[in-house]
Amino acid sequence: MRFLRKALVASAFAVTAIVMGTSAYAEDVKIGFVVKQPEEPWFQDEWKFADQAAKEKGFTLVKIGAEDGEKLMSAIDNLGAQGVQGFVVCTPDVKLGPGIVAKAAANNLKLMTVDDRLVGADGKPLEDVPHMGISATKIGEAVGQAIVDEMKARGWNADEVGAIRVSYDQLPTAVDRVEGAISVLKNNGFKTSSIFDAPQAKTDTEAALNAATVVLNAHPDIKKWVAFGLNDEAALGAVRASESVGIPAANMIGVGIGGADSAINEFKKPQPTGFVGSVIISPKRHGYETSLNMYSWVADDKEPEKLILTSGSLAKRDDYQKVRKDLGLE
């Protein structure tokens, strides 16, 4: 009898859902999307595509920028207080992992991460929290390959070139990205001694500029440089640093990761700069798809995949429009 009643209730619910044209009650669904650096074009794009998902499905999207741990913790309480059922987050600090999980649970919120994966006290990823990130090592390798190809096109010899590794080693995806690039450089003749670490305090252009300037000033004897880091801002910061010490664009090769406005604006400049390319990743997948996955989790109890890794495509000045179009970003 109990079973029968359950089945009846379930089918009544299913009928209602079909009549509504969507599952559950979209207008009751509220989803949070919290990012660590709201002013960064990549995160603006993620939000834009998350908004698109909200519009299509009819749920409410609550966007919050949280630049540090304290802001993130109060953002989660804030979401709970607003009656949000789940949120997607790119945290300012992955080591806050267990605290974020606990805060989400205390507020009865479903939790998914994007871009930066939470780690536990042992530094290992929290595998229970569904995550969408980029295939960091592979994308780093694509950066390294783009640099090597450009060096060949310019007739450079690895012996005469310095490499700036703009680094943010507290973030595992950042380490994987730069190490991917370095593996390709080394396979193409770069010695460890000509790869210089430039640790940045934040993942923005200014911090990268400051870090790269230190390296350039320490090696005035090296005239040709390549640079890479975790995102476009890292590579751009190194390029700005090279300009500030008088290195011409012809002697600089920076390749970034992202492909949002930071890179596009650079490609649009009338004269080419040392920022040669960017491996474009997909803010559509990271914003739209994560939001949809959270929506299905809340509305239909459909748990998202635990780990989704997305790919990237190299773009340069002359083909970025086509690459963006092919990725559904135009």
Residue 134 sits in the site that holds ligand FCA (CB under 6 A)? yes
- Near ligand FCA by CB under 6 A: residue from 116, 141, 176, 266: 116
Q: Which is nearer to ligand FCA, 135 or 145 (CB)?
A: 135
Q: Does 230 bind ligand FCA (CB under 6 A)?
A: yes
Select from 80, 229, 258, 259 the one that contacts ligand FCA (CB under 6 A): 258
To ligand FCA, the closest distance from the beta carbon of 178 in angstroms equals: 12
Among 115, 141, 266, 289, binds ligand FCA (CB under 6 A): 115
Residue type, 194: S
Chain residues 26-45 in contact with ligand FCA, contact rule CB under 6 A: 40, 42
Q: Which two tokens stand for residue 293?
A: 């996955």
- Cα gap 167→208, rounded to integer Å: 8
Q: Is 257 in the site for ligand FCA (CB under 6 A)?
A: yes
User: In whole angstroms, what is the distance from residue 305 CA to residue 128 CA?
Assistant: 10
Of 90 and 151, nearer to ligand FCA (C-beta) is 90
181 binds ligand FCA (CB under 6 A): no
Cα–Cα distance for residue pair 262/41, rounded to 1 Å: 6
Where would I find the H helices in the chain? Answer: 2-20, 41-57, 69-81, 97-106, 136-154, 172-187, 205-218, 232-244, 261-267, 283, 290-300, 320-326
Tokens of 51: 């908004």
Compare residues 80 and 140 and give the one whose CB is closer to ligand FCA.
140
Of the candidate residues 22, 23, 203, 242, the single one contacting ligand FCA (CB under 6 A): 203
Q: Closer CB to ligand FCA, residue 136 or residue 299?
A: 136
* C-alpha–C-alpha distance, residues 268 and 250, integer Å: 17
Distance, CA of 223 to CA of 213 (rounded, Å):
14
- What would the DSSP string read from start to end of 2-66? HHHHHHHHHHHHHHHHHHHTSSS-GGG-EEEEEES-TTSHHHHHHHHHHHHHHHHHT-EEEEEE-
Interface size with ligand FCA, residues (CB under 6 A): 13
91 binds ligand FCA (CB under 6 A): no
Question: Looking at beta carbons, which residue is closest to ligand FCA?
Answer: 231
- Choose between 54 and 94: whose C-beta lies nearer to ligand FCA: 94
Scan for tokens 């009865």, then name that residue: 108
Residues making contact with ligand FCA (CB under 6 A): 40, 42, 90, 115-116, 134, 173, 203, 230-231, 257-258, 281
